[in-house]
């Protein structure tokens, strides 16, 4: 009897030990990862915001709230590691992440984000007044901005290889506000801003010291992607349907206001032909 009891205890402990080495737990088909290199700090507040997003999508998709979770990363390597290890069904990513990893993870666009009532985005470079007239004037200087956390994307798609980052110009990946303060003090020569950052520039007391010297061609925005085959066709359709009028509901509008977006617009891979041409792969 004692031997039988001892064997059962040993077997139970063995199962516990083996389970601890069973590898990472996969995310579910309804789970979402948000990857935005150079974005806001991955704080509890940021995690809470992306969780609110997926919970509201789940509700409108007819999923149980418990079946959908979300993770947010503002560092490319951490976000990519999560995609590899946890295999979530969906990813909300930047155009740069889509271009760089679309083949590795089998990323399929489902929708694109609408911001300022537009499905396209543009980037701009500002400098102190009278110091530069074109991108050529940045050579040998320092360019700063949050979006420089994705240098390959900025060089190929935004600047269309007019400058070779790290060679023609030194880059500094810092938040937009920090970069603008450095521009004011003369620590950097120019700053890269997106549409939203440029629109908020007049609110700064020293904004009249700057001028825009470059604006890129419009870029089709990305949104939520299917990751490989981690979610089935029914779940993809449910998510697409839930996002179509997402910002129209009271609950969805609150989430949209937090993210400062107007909504999601259905899309297909064909919408990114120009983006892929600029990327060159």
The answer to whether the CB of 93 falls within 8 A of the CB of 216 is no
Provide the CATH topology of domain 123-216.
Answer: D-Maltodextrin-Binding Protein; domain 2 (3.40.190)
- Return the axis-axis angle of helices 76-86 and 95-105, rounded to nearest 10°: 30
Cα–Cα distance list, 176 to 25, 137, 179, 193 (Å): 36, 21, 5, 7
Q: The domain 32-118+220-279 belongs to what CATH superfamily?
A: Periplasmic binding protein-like II (3.40.190.10)
Write down the pLDDT at residue 9: 41
Burial 144-162 (b: 16+ CB within 10 A, else e): bbbbbbbeebbbbbbbeee
Cα–Cα distance list, 85 to 52, 101, 219 (Å): 23, 15, 30
pLDDT, one tens digit for every residue, the chain (281 residues): 444 444 334 343 333 333 333 444 456 899 999 999 998 887 788 888 899 999 999 999 999 989 999 999 999 999 999 999 999 999 999 999 999 999 999 999 999 999 988 999 999 999 999 999 999 999 999 999 999 999 999 999 999 999 999 999 999 999 999 999 999 999 999 999 999 999 999 999 999 999 999 999 999 999 999 999 999 999 999 999 999 989 988 888 888 888 888 999 999 999 999 999 999 95
Cα–Cα distance list, 199 to 12, 22, 124 (Å): 62, 50, 11
* 134 sits in which H/E element: none
Q: Please choose, from the candidates 38, 35, 260, the residue with its C-alpha nearest in 3D space to the C-alpha of residue 147.
A: 38
End-to-end CA distance of the chain: 69
Write down the pLDDT at residue 281: 59
Question: Would you call 158 helix, strand, or coil by DSSP?
Answer: helix
The answer to whether the CB of 138 falls within 8 A of the CB of 169 is yes
Rounded Cα gap, residues 226 and 232, in angstroms? 9
The answer to whether the CB of 230 falls within 8 A of the CB of 105 is no
pTM more than 0.85 = yes
**Residue 193 token pair:** 């801003």
Tokens 């935004």 sit on residue = 158
| Sequence ranges of the domains in the chain | 32-118+220-279, 123-216
Write down the pLDDT at residue 3: 46
């Amino acid at each position: 009897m004692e031997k039988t009891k001892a064997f059962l205890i040993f077997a139970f402990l063995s199962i516990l030990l083996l389970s601890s080495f069973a590898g990472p737990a996969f995310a579910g088909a309804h789970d979402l990862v948000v990857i935005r290199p150079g974005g806001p700090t991955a704080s509890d507040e940021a995690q809470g915001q992306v969780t609110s997003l997926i919970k509201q999508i789940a509700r409108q998709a007819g999923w149980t709230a418990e079946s959908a979770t979300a993770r947010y990363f503002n560092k490319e390597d951490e976000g990519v590691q999560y995609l590899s290890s946890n295999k979530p069904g969906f990813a909300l990513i930047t155009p740069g992440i889509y271009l760089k990893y679309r083949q590795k993870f089998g990323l399929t666009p489902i929708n694109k984000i609408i911001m300022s009532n537009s499905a396209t985005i543009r980037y701009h470079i500002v400098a102190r007044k009278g110091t530069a007239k074109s991108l050529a004037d940045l050579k040998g200087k320092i360019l700063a901005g949050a979006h420089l956390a994705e240098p390959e994307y900025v060089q190929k798609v935004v600047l269309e290889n007019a400058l070779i980052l790290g060679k023609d110009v030194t880059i500094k990946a810092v938040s937009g506000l920090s970069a603008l303060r450095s521009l004011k003090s003369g620590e950097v020569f120019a700053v890269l801003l997106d549409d939203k950052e440029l629109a908020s520039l007049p609110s700064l007391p020293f904004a009249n010291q700057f001028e825009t010297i470059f604006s890129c061609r419009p870029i089709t925005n990305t949104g939520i992607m299917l990751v490989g085959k981690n979610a089935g066709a029914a779940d993809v359709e449910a998510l697409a349907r839930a996002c179509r009028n997402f910002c129209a509901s009271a609950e969805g509008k609150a989430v949209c206001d937090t993210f400062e977006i107007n909504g999601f617009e259905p899309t297909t891979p064909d919408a990114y032909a120009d983006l892929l041409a600029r990327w060159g792969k």
